[in-house]
């Protein structure tokens, strides 16, 4: 296959599958297998449509790194399980996440997770270091930051895989009003509830995009906010709010900027043409009642 390297934001896919499909879809022992089934089905469709030259499954070894929480304590607090400090994962999803990981490992797909970092950091590192074309599969808009002339996003939206748009730099600018390089500045200004970032009071999408487009970078905007006079779109009221939030803005940018220097070159990105561990894959298929979906996946990979 000669298509792009397919970089999977794995968690967005298995959460999507879990909530999109009913839990009455079950394995032989009665355990729900909706997330596994949906994950494999989506991956099969992506392979069929995009014919990737390679596949990487980015994994959250640490979904809420301490160093990010130190910078912005509200980071992802809405996803914490009450009283435990752990991620709030539905009871019936946890075993399926482990099964998806086991299936990918047995098939031979590179499933990359690095301690102390999130899947976003793995994705950004792979996309940055891979010399060919890449297609990042995600619903996370923060990953707009990785889009370049050779890296595009396959953005998960409502509907099936065949309806997900591919966003290149031109599509990003058309859709969001800013270039990929300026997206994080806009996100920090307007805030992002999905990450627990409060933003600057009174700044929404439209104002944030106008501000970041009016200045070379966020630092220049902050410097302008401390000036004695202002020109639109920076008004006296906005200048006061931005200058008051300068510490937050610096921390927010550091939190949402994905690391691009993680050591990912040791992994193979090739699509396996036969399972790495056929026995383990067969056992998992029978245990979870997913023989059909594994077979379809392997057939799609063979082209």
Same domain, yes or no: 137 and 116: yes
d(CA 46, CA 41): 9
What is the CATH number for 274?
Answer: 3.40.50.1010
Higher confidence at residue 50 or residue 81? Answer: 50
Same domain, yes or no: 275 and 230: no
Structure-token pair, residue 30: 């009665």
Give the rounded distance of the alpha carbon of 84 from its chain centre.
Answer: 25
Same domain, yes or no: 57 and 200: no
Q: What are phi and psi of 7, to 5 degrees?
A: -110, 115
Q: What residues are paired with 7 via a beta bridge? A: 56, 136
* pTM assigned to the model: 0.95
Residue 78's pLDDT is: 79
d(CA 9, CA 124): 11
Same domain, yes or no: 45 and 107: yes
Provide the residue count of the chain.
303
Q: What residues are paired with 192 via a beta bridge? A: 197
Same domain, yes or no: 93 and 41: yes
Same domain, yes or no: 245 and 217: yes
Same domain, yes or no: 172 and 23: yes
| Mean per-residue pLDDT of the chain | 95
Residues 222-241: b if buried by 16+ CB within 10 A, e if exposed? bebbeeeeeeebbeeebbeb
Higher confidence at residue 241 or residue 85? Answer: 241
Same domain, yes or no: 45 and 126: yes
Per-residue pLDDT tens over the stretch 244-286 = 999 999 999 999 999 999 999 989 999 988 999 999 999 999 9
Same domain, yes or no: 266 and 240: no
Per-residue pLDDT tens over the stretch 14-40 = 999 999 999 999 999 999 999 999 999
Same domain, yes or no: 120 and 240: no
Same domain, yes or no: 65 and 204: no
Residue 82's pLDDT is: 64
Structure-token pair, residue 243: 């200058």
Is there a contact between 25 and 83 (Cβ–Cβ < 8 Å)?
no
Number of domains the chain contains: 2
Per-residue pLDDT tens over the stretch 201-234 = 999 999 999 999 999 999 999 999 999 889 899 9
Domain ranges, residue 245: 180-256
Residue 116's pLDDT is: 95
Same domain, yes or no: 43 and 60: yes
Per-residue pLDDT tens over the stretch 99-151 = 999 999 999 999 999 999 999 999 999 999 999 999 999 999 999 999 999 99
Is there a contact between 242 and 249 (Cβ–Cβ < 8 Å)?
yes
């Amino acid at each position: 296959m000669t298509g792009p390297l397919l970089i999977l934001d794995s968690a967005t896919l298995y959460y999507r599958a879990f909530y999109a499909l009913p839990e009455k879809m079950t394995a032989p022992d009665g355990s729900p297998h909706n997330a596994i089934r949906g994950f494999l089905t989506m991956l099969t469709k992506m392979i069929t449509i995009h014919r990737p030259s390679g596949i990487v499954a980015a994994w959250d070894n640490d979904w809420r790194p301490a160093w990010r929480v130190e910078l912005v304590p509200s980071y992802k607090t809405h996803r914490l399980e009450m009283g435990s400090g752990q991620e709030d994962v539905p009871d019936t999803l946890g075993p399926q996440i482990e099964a998806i990981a086991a299936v990918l490992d047995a098939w031979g797909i590179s499933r990359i997770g690095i301690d102390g970092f999130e899947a976003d950091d793995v994705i950004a590192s792979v996309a940055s270091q891979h010399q060919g074309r890449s297609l990042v599969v995600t619903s996370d808009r923060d990953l707009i930051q990785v889009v370049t002339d050779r890296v595009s996003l396959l953005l998960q939206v409502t509907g099936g895989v065949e309806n997900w748009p591919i966003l290149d730099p031109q599509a990003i600018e058309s859709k969001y009003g800013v270039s990929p390089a300026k997206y994080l500045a806009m996100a920090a200004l307007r805030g992002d509830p999905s990450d627990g970032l409060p933003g600057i009071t009174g700044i929404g999408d439209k104002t944030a995009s106008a501000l970041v487009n009016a200045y070379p970078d966020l630092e220049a905007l902050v410097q302008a906010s401390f000036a004695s006079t202002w020109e639109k779109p920076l008004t006296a009221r906005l200048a006061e709010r931005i200058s008051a939030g300068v510490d937050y803005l610096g921390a927010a940018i550091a939190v949402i900027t994905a690391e691009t220097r993680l050591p990912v070159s040791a992994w193979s990105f090739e699509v396996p043409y036969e399972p790495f561990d056929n026995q383990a894959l067969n056992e998992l298929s029978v245990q979870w009642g997913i023989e059909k979906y594994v077979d379809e996946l392997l057939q799609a990979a063979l082209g």
